[in-house]
């Protein structure tokens, strides 16, 4: 039998500093929290504490205060807390996500990698901003959630081809929950925030007003109505040229749109989303896109049906009552990744692939020392290299289409002839444009 999937539930009240400290202390009681001290510090490329402070104090001063409490609670430096858990040039891997908004309900599946998931559902009531409940991402961010006014918000990855300095997706969700009371306010604020990557933001408020904000550094479009669906591509005509190839996103959308036109009870909608045989349930756990949690919020009642994994028995959380002082009555959510159809054990060790020098068959290289490594005649399509030392590595006849290289040391790496760099970007700049600029520079010198 595959191991069960557990998500801890934390309740935090007080100042923003208190909330940060309580989240940290709650996390440290978990097995992952007890192992945190042994984890190597990760510093994003070109991280600047000063720049991170400037962004947060401008757009979310409460989160800046929360980071101080988080640092003290984790017993780490403020610089490390900000580097790993705020806006400091963090990059985000591809993730799925489906949402349907209908009849005042907000239904949501979150699809992502089990290895990169906080496994924390956090209810917070900080002084000076809205109380909210949502799934944590890097502690200060939220993948999705609902606030005390009934506003529900969730994120949906689209593309990062046009990356620019700006706020990351998880902080945008958090800021909207912290600062807005309804959909109109959230749409207005989302239009004014600097978006660093291409994401959809689905939302609904207590009056049943729904919207999808399609946002990227290149532009913003808004779809509004009482019945909407959202996946991982832009639908607005002006932004469709930014969509990446994502057959799963287009395949899920018609089902969600059909559900949005029905009058569905909250429990029925939950089971439609969470059933392991559902057309919108994802089983791609080894590829970073399996369904990790599902929930349905009744926005007007401030209530949430929530379950983790697949084929879950949903728990009902009365967030409205919690805001007025009651307990949530649950400390942990338990379920089975993949449900009954394809149970998945997140603790299993990945198979080794001899062709890639013993690397995981999922093609994930995180905190890896690949210095001097030799890769030959191997497909590394859609591979992830993060915090990896690749100094002096040699790549011969390698397919790196769709791969991600984040915070990588490429010193003395040799790239020879017969290379196709079409569509490749470095820090948001197309390699083709760099080559063109270099060629033009040579022409300018000659003239």
409 and 262, same structural domain? Answer: no
In a shared domain, residues 181 and 312? yes
The domain boundary, picked from 290, 307, 335, lies at: 335
- What percent of the chain lies above the pLDDT cut of 70? 76
Of 270, 305, 335, which one is at a domain's C-terminal end?
335
Tell me how far apart the alpha carbons of residues 375 and 356 are, in angstroms, rounded to a whole number.
Answer: 6
Is 230 or 45 the better-scoring residue by pLDDT?
A: 230
Phi-psi region of 46 (alpha: psi -120 to 50; beta: other; left: phi over 0): left
Choose one of 305, 335, 365: the last residue of a domain: 335
pTM: 0.80
Assigned domain for 37 exists: no
CA distance 357 to 373: 8
**Residue 17 forms part of a structural domain:** no
DSSP string, 118-169: --EEEEEEETTS--EEEEEETTTEEEEEEETTS-EEEEEEEE-TT--SSB-H
pLDDT in tens, 17-31: 999 999 999 999 888
pLDDT digits (tens, 9 = 90+) for 241-273: 888 888 999 999 999 999 999 999 999 999 999
Question: Domain containing 97 — which CATH number?
Answer: 3.60.60.10
Average pLDDT rounded to a whole number, residues 105-127: 96
Q: Are residues 377 and 318 in the same domain?
A: no
In a domain, 299, yes or no: yes
* Residue 316 and residue 397 share a domain: no
Separation between Cα atoms, residue 256 and residue 18, nearest integer Å:
39
Same domain, 173 and 232: yes
What DSSP character marks residue 402?
Answer: T
Q: Among 87-91, 165-169, 221-225, name the one with the lowest average pLDDT.
A: 87-91
Q: Are residues 285 and 427 in the same domain?
A: no
**Residues 346-393 pLDDT 10s:** 876 544 444 334 334 445 554 455 655 666 656 666 565 644 556 667
Whether the per-residue pLDDT at 300 is higher than 60: the answer is yes
The mean-pLDDT minimum among 73-77, 277-281, 371-375 falls in 371-375
128-142, 225-239, 259-273, 418-432, range with the lowest pLDDT: 418-432
Residue 404 inside a domain? The answer is yes
Q: Helix count (H) and strand count (E) of the chain?
A: 11, 25
**Number of folded domains in the chain?**
2
Which residues are 101's β-sheet partners? Answer: 106, 228
Same domain, 314 and 362: no
Rounded to the nearest 5°, which phi and psi values hold at 106? -120, 105
In a domain, 265, yes or no: yes
The answer to whether residue 21 is domain-embedded is no
How many degrees, rounded to 5, is the angle at CA 165 between CA 249 and CA 117? 50
pLDDT in tens, 306-333: 999 999 999 999 999 999 999 998 999 9
Query: Both 117 and 250 in a single domain?
Result: yes
What pLDDT is recorded for position 356? 38
Please check whether residue 152 is in contact with residue 173, taking contact to mean a CB–CB distance below 8 angstroms: no
The reply to whether 325 and 360 lie within a common domain is no
> Residue 391 belongs to what domain range?
353-446
What is the C-alpha separation between 435 and 202, in angstroms, rounded? 38
What pLDDT was estimated at residue 447?
45
Same domain? For 256 and 401 the reply is no
Q: Are residues 313 and 362 in the same domain?
A: no
**297: pLDDT strictly greater than 80:** yes
Asked, for residue 425, whether it belongs to a domain, the answer is yes
Q: For residue 60, is it within any domain?
A: no
pLDDT of residue 359: 39
Both 168 and 235 in one domain: the answer is: yes
Which pLDDT belongs to residue 269?
98
């Amino acid at each position: 039998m595959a191991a069960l999937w557990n998500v801890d539930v934390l309740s935090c009240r007080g100042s923003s500093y208190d909330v940060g400290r309580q989240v940290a202390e709650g996390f440290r009681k978990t097995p992952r929290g007890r192992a945190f001290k042994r984890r190597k510090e990760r510093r994003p490329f070109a991280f600047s504490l000063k720049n991170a402070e400037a962004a947060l104090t401008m757009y979310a001063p409460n989160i800046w205060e929360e980071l101080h409490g988080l640092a003290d609670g984790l017993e780490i430096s403020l610089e490390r807390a900000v580097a790993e858990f705020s806006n400091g040039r963090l990059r985000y891997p591809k993730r799925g996500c489906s949402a349907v908004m209908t009849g005042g309900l907000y239904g949501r599946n979150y699809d992502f990698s089990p290895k990169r998931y906080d496994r924390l559902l956090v209810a917070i009531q900080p002084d000076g901003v809205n109380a909210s409940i949502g799934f944590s991402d890097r502690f200060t961010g939220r993948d999705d959630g609902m606030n005390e006014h009934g506003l529900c918000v969730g994120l949906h990855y689209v593309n990062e081809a046009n990356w620019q300095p700006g706020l990351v997706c998880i902080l945008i969700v958090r800021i909207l929950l912290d600062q807005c009371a309804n959909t109109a306010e959230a749409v207005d604020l989302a239009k004014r925030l600097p978006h660093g990557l291409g994401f959809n933001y689905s939302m609904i408020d207590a009056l049943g007003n729904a919207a999808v904000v399609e946002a990227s550094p290149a532009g913003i479009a808004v779809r509004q109505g009482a019945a909407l669906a959202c996946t991982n591509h832009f639908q607005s005509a002006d932004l469709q040229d930014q969509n990446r190839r994502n057959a799963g996103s287009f395949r899920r959308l018609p089902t969600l749109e059909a559900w949005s036109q029905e009058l569905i009870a909250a429990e029925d909608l939950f089971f439609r989303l969470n059933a392991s045989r559902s057309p919108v349930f994802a089983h791609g756990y080894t590829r970073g896109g399996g369904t990790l949690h599902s929930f349905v919020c009744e926005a007007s009642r401030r209530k949430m049906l929530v379950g983790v994994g697949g084929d879950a028995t949903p728990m009902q959380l009365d967030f409205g009552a919690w805001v007025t002082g009651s307990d949530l009555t649950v400390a942990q959510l338990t379920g089975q990744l993949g449900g009954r159809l394809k149970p998945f054990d997140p603790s299993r060790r990945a198979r080794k692939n001899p062709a890639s020098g013993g690397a995981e068959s999922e093609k994930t290289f995180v905190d890896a020392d690949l210095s001097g490594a030799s890769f030959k005649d191997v497909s590394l399509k859609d591979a992830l290299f993060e915090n990896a030392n690749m100094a002096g590595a040699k790549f011969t006849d390698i397919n790196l289409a769709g791969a991600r290289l984040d915070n990588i040391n490429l010193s003395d790496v040799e790239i020879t002839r017969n290379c196709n760099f079409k569509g490749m970007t470095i820090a948001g700049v197309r390699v083709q444009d760099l080559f063109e600029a270099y060629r033009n520079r040579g022409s300018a010198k000659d003239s």
